Structure 1
């Protein structure tokens, strides 16, 4: 099974959203099946086979997530991030401003789904190979 240290090593190679596809490939090699990222504090829960989980504790001070989602603006911020124009913390702040409370990466389905505070799906995107 994978460890938090192995995940941190893979994540250390990520400089911007443009590096995300390579990060996913590294996680596949480790046996990660998916993970949930909580925007309000940066906590990430990774999961694998047989209900195996590893949690990375919060990474940054609490961010207030907007009560109502703004999908259109979020997509603009997402495109900026994926093209390498913003760093991770900036993206998290942008996501919070747009009402994104969490995102779930499903490595089996190769999707990333963004949710609001009520657990509603706001956007589902395919992860590039």
Structure 2
């Protein structure tokens, strides 16, 4: 089964949101079926078949998750990140400010769902397929 080190290697190729679809394909090949990214400290929980789970350590200093959710500002910031206009630390800080607690990527559905503290769905997106 996959390791956090293998996922970290795949993630090292990601420089902006524009690189995300290729990253998803890479970790899907490793056997990842879904994963959660927690904005507050940047750790991720990766899931595979047969209840397999691997967790990464925190990746940054704790961030406070804002309330209430500012969905419109979040969508604007997400679009900018996907266009490669912001780096990952900037994106994470924007998520926290806008009230996003985590996102879950479902590799089988090729979708990404963003949630607030109460686990309300704020936005669901299809992950673009790469050629």
Could you say which TM-score interval applies, normalised by the shorter chain?
A: over 0.9
* Stretches of structure 2 lacking an aligned partner (at least 5 in a row): none
Are the aligned partners of 1:36 and 1:103 in contact in 2 as well (CA < 8 Å)? yes
1:18 corresponds to which residue?
18
Scaled by the length of structure 1, the TM-score of the pair is 0.98
Q: Which residue in 1 is equivalent to 2:118?
A: 118
1:93 aligns with 2:60: no
Q: Secondary structure at the match of 1:69?
A: coil
- Counterpart for residue 32 of structure 1: 32
- Corresponding residue SS for 2:113: strand
- Count matched residues: 129
User: What displacement does 1:5 show?
Assistant: 1.0
Aligned-residue CA RMSD (Å):
0.5
Pairwise CA distance, 1:105: 0.3
Which residue of 2 is the match for residue 104 of structure 1?
Answer: 104
Q: Distance in 1 between matches of 2:94 and 2:44?
A: 18
Counterpart CA distance in 2 for 1:120 and 1:88 is 23
* 1:55-111 Cα deviation digits (max 9, x unpaired): 001000000110211111100000000000111111000011110000000001111
Q: Structure 1 unaligned runs (5+)? A: none
